[in-house]
Amino acid sequence: MTRVKLNKCSTLMALPILAAFTSPSHGQDASKQIRTLLDGQYASLETLYKHLHAHPELSLEEEKTGLRMAKELKDLGFDVTTKVGGHGVVGVLKNGEGPTVLVRTDLDALPVTEKTGLPYASKVRVRDKEGLDVGVMHACGHDMHMTCWVGAARILTKMKKDWKGTLIFIGQPAEEIGVGAKAMLEDGLFKRFPRPDFCLGLHCDSRIPFGQVAYSEGLLLANVDSIDITVKGRGGHGSAPQVSIDPIVLAAKIILDLQTIVSREVSPLDAAVVTVGSIHGGTKHNIIPSEVKLQLTVRTLKDSVRKHVLEGIVRITKAAAVGARAPEPIVKIDLDRFTPALFNDPALAKQISNRLRDILGKDNVKDIGPIMGGEDFGRYGREGVPIFFYFLGTQSPERLENAVKTGTPAPGLHSDLYFPVVEPSIRNGVLTMTSAVLELMKR
C-alpha cells in the first residue's frame, strides 16, 4: 500500500470518531480551565525543563531521562512500563469507554557543545560510540517536548471529568538517529498496549514566534536517508602524488558531482536535498591518506525521487573512483536509520487545527505545507493510525525581527546557540497539546 493510500485509509477510519466529538463552546471553556490549572503547575514545569536541559543524554543512552519521565507518569496514576524499544516509556491511563489517544515525546539530545551562555546550559560531556569526547545538548528542543508532555499529562489527570477513553503517553528514545519509533513498534507498542485511535506529537520550531503553531493537512516532512561513503585511495608521501591515488581529491570531486543529481537529474518540480555533513581523512600535512570517510543526509518527498537519488549516489561515487583508477569505494545506505515521510491525517489535522484557531486565534495557526525536515513519528501513521504532528513556535518575535533587519538568521534547531523562550513556549505547548487531546476525548 502506498503512503497516499494509507493516508486516505486512515482518514476514513477516523471519520466516525471525529464526527462524534464536535462542540464549539467546549473548546473555549476547556482552554480557560487548562490555563487556570497550568498557572498552578507552571513553576514546577519550568524547574523540570531547566533540569532536563542541563542533563541531556544521547540517543540510545536516555536511561535517566526515561526513568524521570516514568516517575512523572507513575505519580499521576498511569500504569507505566519502561525499557520499551530501549529506554522507551509507555504510560496507560484508562478513564471509561472512549477513544484511545497516544501522545508522544522524544527523549534524546544531540552531540553538540552548548554555547548559549544560559545559566542552566548543559555542561555534559561524554564519549560517543566512536570514542570521541563530545558535548551533549538539547539543541532540538526535546527538553521542551518532554516538559509540555508532562504538563499535558498533569492537566488531563486533573480534568478527568471532562474526557473519556484511554490515554497512552509514550517517551520515545533515539528520535535523532531515526530508530526509536521503529524500535518501540517492534517491541510491541501497538500489541502489548492498547492500540491507539489517534497519535499526537509536537516539535519546537525556531522559525516561528512563540504563541503560534504550524502544521500541514497531509504531507508535512520528508524521507530521510543516512549514507556513509568510504572513498578508497593509495596512501603515500605528499611530495610524490604521482605514485599515490589521493582519496582527498577524489572525495572533493564526488562531493561536487553529487550535487548534479539534484540540479540535473531531479525535476525542478520535485524537492530533493543531498548534503555532505561530514568529511574525515588524513593525519598530517605531508601524508596522502589511504581513505576518506563521508557522511551524507538525503531528503526527498517522493519514493520515486528517493530511489533515483540513492541510485545516483552509488553510481556517481563508483564512476569517480573508476576515473581515478582508485579501488571501489564502499557506499553504505543505512536502512536501519531511514525515516519515512510524515503524513498528517487530513481530517484529523483539520479538526484539531480548527480547535487551535479557536484557542490561539486564526492568525496564529498556520498551514505551512511540506518541509524537508524529518521525524520518525511518521512511522506510527505507517501502521494505519491517524496521526497529527505540529510545530510549536519557540522564538521571541524580537529575535526574528532582528534577524530580518540584519540578514542573519536566528539560531535554528541543532545549533549550539538555539534555545526556546521558556515561559511562553511551555504554556503554549501544554495548552495546545491538552486541547488537542480533549478535542478527541471530550465527553
Domains of the chain by start residue, with CATH: 3-222+341-441 (3.40.630.10), 223-337 (3.30.70.360)
Residue range 384-436, pLDDT digits in tens: 999 999 999 999 999 999 999 999 999 999 999 999 999 999 999 999 999 99
**Per-residue pLDDT at 26:** 54
What average pLDDT does range 260-268 have in this prediction? 97
**Per-residue pLDDT at 409:** 92
What average pLDDT does range 71-93 have in this prediction? 98
Check pLDDT > 50 for residue 13: no
Instruction: Determine the Cα angle at 144 with ends 376 and 107, to 5°.
Output: 45
Residue range 57-70, pLDDT digits in tens: 999 999 999 999 99
Check pLDDT > 70 for residue 4: no
Higher pLDDT residue, 26 or 101?
Answer: 101
What average pLDDT does range 300-317 have in this prediction? 97
Q: Is the pTM of this model over 0.85?
A: yes
Please check whether residue 331 is in contact with residue 407, taking contact to mean a CB–CB distance below 8 angstroms: no
Please state, rounded to an integer, the average pLDDT across all residues of the chain.
Answer: 93
Beta bridge partners of 103: 169, 200
Closest of 428, 434, 432, 426 to residue 47, by C-alpha? 426
Higher pLDDT residue, 29 or 1?
Answer: 29
Closest of 161, 152, 155, 128 to residue 201, by C-alpha? 152
Q: What percent of the chain has pLDDT over 70?
A: 94
Q: What percent of the chain has pLDDT over 90?
A: 92
The owner of cell 536516555 is 62
Please state, in angstroms and as integers, the Cα–Cα distance from residue 120 to each residue in 51, 109, 203, 336, following that order: 8, 15, 21, 35
**Per-residue pLDDT at 29:** 82
Closest of 420, 423, 418, 421 to residue 45, by C-alpha? 423
What average pLDDT does range 301-330 have in this prediction? 97
Check pLDDT > 90 for residue 119: yes
**Distance of alpha carbon 45 from alpha carbon 50, whole angstroms:** 9
Residue 383 one-letter amino acid: E
pLDDT level of residue 21 (50, 70, 90 thresholds): very low
**Per-residue pLDDT at 196:** 98
Please check whether residue 60 is in contact with residue 136, taking contact to mean a CB–CB distance below 8 angstroms: no
Check pLDDT > 80 for residue 2: no
**Per-residue pLDDT at 443:** 84
What average pLDDT does range 104-132 have in this prediction? 96
What average pLDDT does range 284-298 have in this prediction? 97
**Per-residue pLDDT at 11:** 34
Torsion angle (degrees, nearest 10) of CA 57, 62, 63, 66:
120
What average pLDDT does range 43-63 have in this prediction? 98
Beta pairing, strands 79-84 & 133-135: unpaired
pLDDT level of residue 129 (50, 70, 90 thresholds): confident
pLDDT level of residue 130 (50, 70, 90 thresholds): confident
**Per-residue pLDDT at 149:** 99
* Residue 237 φ then ψ, to 5°: -85, 140
pLDDT level of residue 338 (50, 70, 90 thresholds): very high
First to last CA, the chain: 35
What average pLDDT does range 185-193 have in this prediction? 98
* Total residues found in the chain within this entry: 443
**Per-residue pLDDT at 226:** 96
Check pLDDT > 50 for residue 20: no
